[in-house]
Amino acid sequence: MLESVCVLILFNKTREEANRHGWKFVWTKEGRVLVRREQGKASHRIRSINTGQDELLVSIDRHKPDILALNETWLKEGQDLCAPKVPGYVLKLSPRPGGRKGGGVGFYIRRGLNARVREHPDSALEQLWLEVRPRGMGRIAVGTAYRPDSSSKTRVPTGVAIDALSESISSFGECSLVCVMTDFNVDLLKPSLTPAPEVLTFFQQQNLTNLVNEPTRVVENSATLLDLIITDNPQLFRNLSVHHNPSLSDHAMVLVDLAIKIPKEPPQYVWTRVLSKIDEKNFLQDLKEQPWSEILKYDDVEIMTSHFNDLLTCIFDKHSPLKRIRINQRPRPWLTDVVKHMMFLRDKAWSKALATKTERHCRYFKDLKNLVNSAIKSEKRAYFNFFVNNNLNNPKQMWKHLKQTAGVSGNAALPSIPNEES
């Protein structure tokens, strides 16, 4: 439901831009927004971090990374709330400068991890840096960087991007380890083709190592190594793996373990009042007995307001005292264990198809992909139909649950005073 809303917003914005620039066709397919200038021309996918939310959540739930770097978020300044909310993670974003479309980098950071955003030298290269302090180890600099490709209007020359990254790395000299997850839009599977030699020379001069050595972007008739993990201490990294999921992105999710111990995420709590258990008769009686007239003795409106709030809060403390409640993560009940297992089989089939490149394995992957998409839609439809139909006579409960599912916060303010005459 929430993903459908995000796709609808993206679709409407795309249609506005298409009308403005004379593109004739805009449509959706399998949760994606596509455009075509005119009949017979190639179609183009409109990308955003907002699309494929279920795929993103399942991938994070399956692999459970402590830090997930994002490139090409396509979010502008002030659009943080539009990004997917991942249970147990904090999102940090750095949009493309100047409010221009496309690009943008960010991180999903697991709650409980001691990490903070660090400043870096200004440059044309899109970057975001964290300082991480794991227990039992010194400070670690973790960065993500994105260089637009040569076809982009915001093109950054390779030499300029290298100088910017070098300057940023040098600014973290006090850190015991530097790790950069980057997309330079340079194919390192072809080390002799420009500008790959320039990038490799930079690694050698800075004593850096790229840990990834297999294709990370696979499309029809093309396999390239664009997504890199660069570090100055490769001995501390192990278990690197590349996970392709075209339903999420044409870029693979590249994972690697750092040989340190990560502390367990602490539980989260909030303070709230259980207002449904208030005895209205006693509550109204206490309201009558409060010395409200004393408020009029003051001339300062701030003091009057403070005194009024103290009297009212005192009543609520008596009839509905604050209680500490542990926060449960936002549910996505349509992502059942069966659906998650189907996604696992689909991704496994995709890896097999990439390895063999046979028509039989490619057809098997496409069949599983369509089956997964159909299963998610069916589970969503069945879940919401069941819940709505079973709460037609209880709209309060229905909307409460829908808000929880969509991650919408309710009003935490004190309720209005009951009118005893009504």
Give the pLDDT confidence of 248-273 residue by residue, as tens digits. Answer: 888 999 999 988 765 566 677 778 88
d(CA 372, CA 381) in angstroms, rounded, equals 14
pLDDT at 123 over 70: yes
Q: How far is CA 113 from the centre of its chain?
A: 17
* Residue 383 CB partners (closer than 8 Å, separation 6+): 333, 334
Q: Tell me, what DSSP letter sits at residue 263?
A: P
Residue 41 binned pLDDT confidence (cut-offs 50, 70, 90): low
- Say if pTM beats, i.e. exceeds, 0.75: no
d(CA 13, CA 29) in angstroms, rounded, equals 16
Range of the domain at 41: 1-46
Is residue 412, in this structure, part of any structural domain at all?
no
- pLDDT given for residue 414 in this prediction: 42
- pLDDT given for residue 220 in this prediction: 78
* 302 and 194 co-located in one domain: no
Residue 11 binned pLDDT confidence (cut-offs 50, 70, 90): low
pLDDT at 408 over 60: no
pLDDT at 411 over 50: no
Over residues 75-93, the mean pLDDT reads 81
Over residues 94-98, the mean pLDDT reads 81
What percent of the chain stands above pLDDT 70?
79
Ramachandran region of residue 30, left (φ > 0), alpha (ψ -120 to 50) or beta? left
Residue 422 binned pLDDT confidence (cut-offs 50, 70, 90): very low
Range name among 143-152, 155-164, 189-198 with the lowest pLDDT average? 143-152
Is residue 172, in this structure, part of any structural domain at all?
yes
pLDDT at 297 over 70: yes
* 190 and 320 co-located in one domain: no
Domain boundary among 235, 258, 281: 258
Over residues 143-164, the mean pLDDT reads 84
* 63 and 206 co-located in one domain: yes
Q: Please tell me whether residue 198 adopts helix, strand or coil conformation.
A: helix
Is residue 420, in this structure, part of any structural domain at all?
no
pLDDT at 135 over 80: no
d(CA 229, CA 183) in angstroms, rounded, equals 9
- pLDDT given for residue 418 in this prediction: 42
Domain boundary among 9, 30, 46: 46
- pLDDT given for residue 8 in this prediction: 55
Please give the mean pLDDT across all residues of the chain: 81
Token pair for residue 237? 């990294």
Q: Please tell me whether residue 273 adopts helix, strand or coil conformation.
A: coil
Over residues 71-92, the mean pLDDT reads 81
Output 89 or 394, whichever has higher pLDDT.
Answer: 89
* 211 and 78 co-located in one domain: yes
* 2 and 114 co-located in one domain: no
Is residue 405, in this structure, part of any structural domain at all?
no
Q: Tell me, what DSSP letter sits at residue 251?
A: B
* 203 and 298 co-located in one domain: no
Q: What is the pLDDT of residues 299-341, one digit of tens each?
A: 889 999 998 999 999 999 999 898 888 766 555 777 888 888 8
Output 49 or 132, whichever has higher pLDDT.
Answer: 132
Q: Are 169 and 178 in contact (CB under 8 A)?
A: yes
* 178 and 309 co-located in one domain: no
Task: Indicate the number of domains in the chain.
Answer: 4
